[in-house]
Amino acid sequence: MQRILVTGANRGLGLEFARQLLTRGARVFATCRHPGKALALTGLAAAHPGRLTVLPLELASERSIAELVREVGALTDALDALINNGGMLVSSERYGTIAAKSLSDSFASNVAGPLLLTQALSPLLEKAKNAKVMNLSSRLGSLALTTAFGTPSYAISKAALNMVTRQLAATFAPHGITAFCVSPGWVSTDMGGANAPVTPHDAVAGLLKVLDAATPAAAGQFVDYTGAAIDW
Ligand SMILES: NC(=O)c1ccc[n+]([C@@H]2O[C@H](COP(=O)([O-])OP(=O)(O)OC[C@H]3O[C@@H](n4cnc5c(N)ncnc54)[C@H](OP(=O)(O)O)[C@@H]3O)[C@@H](O)[C@H]2O)c1
């Protein structure tokens, strides 16, 4: 049984990852900031007895990361995959009024959090055979595809997450762990909005195919939910 940890699993893509992973028979560790309020997520536990554990995690807090890793370590001796899904987008930023807090919050949640969490979970990932780390990036983090000003705190942080992925891929290669980053497409979640053309179901189904298919040759890649390469 695959043991998989997903962050930001109380809503949006993270919740859909938890749903589809449970349907596939995985053992799921699903994190969210407030488990007591995550009713859709905790509601999945009853239908999948013994296969879903919901744990608190605030990505911007080193203490929360350490506590999460301690709790996961008490529940499993290895992790087959880590899906760094949790992330934030500051909307309505305008050039001229960009706030330092928007940049630093985005960096803490979208860059430092996933890196520090992955680092802290490395011993559990190393104990699995061919473990994988999938980072949820975005086309908005592509330097090559950026031709207009928009959502700078988010875009800059996702570009940095892409660098995190390249660094992790390099450091993990000798340990049999494959780290890569993906874009889910423009998805109809709270972040993507109701007009987004891709459903969470289709984005996650595609991304789980990408996860399944990832061999060590996929280390350091940036692909979309169909598996197509994205320009850096
Ligand atoms: N939707 C899209 O079109 C799209 C496109 C490209 C990339 N993505 C990426 O896909 C991932 C999931 O997006 P989504 O559309 O599902 O977004 P969403 O609906 O806004 O959900 C974001 C999730 O991340 C969690 N989160 C945010 N900051 C956190 C922090 N500091 N610590 C812990 N959890 C935190 C949120 O928790 P709370 O509920 O507590 O806030 C929530 O569970 C994100 O990384 C996003 O950047 C999405």
For residue 55, report the distance from its CA to the centre of ligand 1, in Å: 16
Residue 40, in any domain of the structure: yes
Q: What percentage of residues in the chain have a pLDDT greater than 70? A: 100
Mean pLDDT of 69-78: 98
Q: 171: buried, middle or exposed (CB in 10 Å: 19+, 13-18, 0-12)? A: middle
Residue 229, in any domain of the structure: no
Residue 196, in any domain of the structure: yes
Closest C-alpha residue for ligand 1 atom 44? 87
Is the pLDDT at 68 greater than 90? The verdict is yes
Residue 93, in any domain of the structure: yes
Residue 15, in any domain of the structure: yes
E-strand spans in 7-48? Answer: 27-32
Residue 230, in any domain of the structure: no
Residue 232, in any domain of the structure: no
pLDDT tens digits, one per residue of 30-43: 999 999 999 999 99
Question: What does the DSSP assignment read for 48-112?
Answer: STTTEEEEE--TT-HHHHHHHHHHHHHH-S--SEEEE-------S--TT---HHHHHHHHIIIII
pLDDT tens digits, one per residue of 144-197: 999 999 999 999 999 999 999 999 999 999 999 999 999 999 999 999 999 999
Say what the pLDDT of residue 46 is. 84
Q: How many domains does the chain have?
A: 1
Q: Which of 191, 223, 226 to mutate to test the pocket of ligand 1 (most atoms within 8 A of CB)?
A: 191
Quote the domain boundaries for residue 98.
Answer: 3-224
Residue 169, in any domain of the structure: yes
CATH number for the domain including 58?
A: 3.40.50.720
Say what the pLDDT of residue 160 is. 98
pLDDT tens digits, one per residue of 197-214: 999 999 999 999 999 999
